[in-house]
Structure 1
Amino acid sequence: MDYTTLSVSIAGKVATVTLTRPDVRNAFNEKTIAELALAFDELGRNEFVRAIVLAAEGQAFCAGADLNWMKKMAGYSHDENRADALALADMLRTIYLCPKPVVARIQGDCYAGGMGLAAACDIAVAVQEANFCLSEVKLGLIPATISPYVIKAMGENAARRYFLTAERFSAQEAHRIGFVHEVATVDTLDEVVGGIVKALVNNSPDAVRLAKELVRDIPGKPVTTELLADTADRIANIRASAEGREGVASFLEKRKPSWLN
């Protein structure tokens, strides 16, 4: 597929999706949204890909919505605005539900909808110079479409502050509130991301996929008989699976599992 707002490359078992509009700080428009949804859908179904890195060119990771796109939206009807928002929501959900683990490589500022992109990923690494901002209320808007992912990533208490104040905050603060997992220097960013990706691709592909589902499904549920049965079924199923049997056998036999060959 030929993309116009991003690029996709695959090296070994790792795919990299790179936003390629540095002249507009990688702000997205309807084309970027459609291409991101397509790229992650295709990579999620690619049996050779074990992990995906979401990256960007230039000084900013993503500045949110493109100004020209915002000008177009200013004239939209309610139904047009709703359809537009649903396209963004679908793209974020495609990243969030991608069966492959996704790592956000945040090399610069991450604002508004860009924070939604980062939050939809499983793991986020940011350079220490990056700034973050949920700026919507300054424009008379709210971060509605990105809120399911951003609130999960930073927690309700931090979201209450930054949704309401639209304050800009540092990578160190993003790490403190749990929005990003690691903060790196410019020189060590690729090393840190690479280390995480290496850990991901060394693990059982089926187990990683099912562990990702587990993290999505379990939080917030009461510890009921039904939940206990659900978790027991999940471990029983994977213990009896080909990769589950191979993983245990390789450990006991002190050899590499087949997925590392």
Structure 2
Amino acid sequence: MDTPAPLDIAHDGPIARLTLNRPDMRNAFDDTLIAALTGAVQAAVEDPAVRVLLLTGAGKAFCAGGDLNWMRKMATLTDAENRADAAKLARMLHTIWSCPKPVVACVNGDAYAGGMGLVAACDIAIAADSAHFCLSETRLGLLPATISPYVLRAMGERAANRYFLTAERFDAATAFRLGLVHDVVPLADLPRHAEALCLALCDNGPGAVQASKRLVRDFAGQDIDAALIADTVERIAAVRSTDEAREGVSAFLEKRDPAWRAKR
């Protein structure tokens, strides 16, 4: 019998659905899944029909982090081989984080270690109320190095001080309070809620959505000085003259849908 692909890729109109597909391993990633997810995100970026990416997991877990058998193999590698392998994981996370199109995490179950990194690298995260989270690396004598830039941005330095060090497990309500996820909903409602959010993103101007994502990336944490203010002026001035902006304003005044909005 053929081995199922580690990543299921499906397209539903403007939504690219990427499903981690190793349910028997709680969707833990190995080198094959890392390569597949990196490639799938890159392909979605290049596909003009894709407006939003939706990342979720098959089965009961979202992602358990690294496959322990794969990690055991890492202990036998040379230092150079370990660096190269870690770089692939880091590249996958950065590919998600830097994707110009919005990426939504639909956290259907537990997200541990690198799975938390996946959640944090996405722009928006919605979790089932039954999901749990854990930065479990220190229990194994490891550390959450490659995921740390994204988790720190998502949950903040103070919370990271606690959960990086203690490896405590926490629930979805705590993840919401910390800012790691934006919404918590009953598991049965999660697919509908995630799809509604993706469709809401697709209602907006695709260029404006991507440019707004860049605003967050470029301006978060920056001093509000003359240079930043000048940058904001240049950005809005450049957008006002685009075909997309003209269509959006005209559609609003004429009380009709803009051309980019799909009929449904």
With normalisation by structure 1, the TM-score equals: 0.97
Q: Which residue of 2 aligns with 1:259?
A: 260
Q: Which residue of 2 aligns with 1:149?
A: 150
Q: Which residue of 2 aligns with 1:105?
A: 106
Paired with 2:192 and 2:21, the residues of 1 have a C-alpha distance of: 22
Structure 1 residue 4, shift from structure 2 partner: 2.2
Paired with 2:27 and 2:191, the residues of 1 have a C-alpha distance of: 19
1:79 aligned partner, one-letter code: A
Q: Which residue of 2 aligns with 1:15?
A: 16
Structure 1 residue 154, shift from structure 2 partner: 0.7
**Per-residue CA distance 1:175-207 (angstroms, 9 max, x = gap):** 010000110111111121122111101110000
With normalisation by structure 2, the TM-score equals: 0.96
Matched, 1:208 2:201: no
Matched, 1:75 2:76: yes
Percent identity over the alignment? 54
Cα RMSD for the two superposed structures:
1.2
Paired with 1:84 and 1:207, the residues of 2 have a C-alpha distance of: 36
What SS does structure 1 have at the residue aligned with 2:236? helix
Paired with 1:241 and 1:219, the residues of 2 have a C-alpha distance of: 25
Q: Which residue of 1 aligns with 2:58?
A: 57
- Write the mapping of 1:26-65 to structure 2, written as runs, cut at 5 A: 26-65=27-66
Q: Which residue of 1 aligns with 2:86?
A: 85
Gaps of 5+ in 2: none
Structure 1 residue 7, shift from structure 2 partner: 0.9
Structure 1 residue 93, shift from structure 2 partner: 0.7
Gaps of 5+ in 1: none
**Per-residue CA distance 1:67-95 (angstroms, 9 max, x = gap):** 11111101122211111111111111111
Paired with 2:209 and 2:61, the residues of 1 have a C-alpha distance of: 30
Paired with 1:214 and 1:127, the residues of 2 have a C-alpha distance of: 29
Paired with 1:256 and 1:70, the residues of 2 have a C-alpha distance of: 51
Structure 1 residue 57, shift from structure 2 partner: 0.6
**Per-residue CA distance 1:193-245 (angstroms, 9 max, x = gap):** 12211110111000001111111110111111111111111111111111011
Q: Which residue of 1 aligns with 2:97?
A: 96
Paired with 2:25 and 2:126, the residues of 1 have a C-alpha distance of: 22
1:93 aligned partner, one-letter code: H
1:96 aligned partner, one-letter code: W
Paired with 1:237 and 1:78, the residues of 2 have a C-alpha distance of: 48
- Write the mapping of 1:192-207 to structure 2, written as runs, cut at 5 A: 192-207=193-208
Paired with 2:202 and 2:16, the residues of 1 have a C-alpha distance of: 11
Q: Which residue of 2 aligns with 1:245?
A: 246
1:157 aligned partner, one-letter code: R
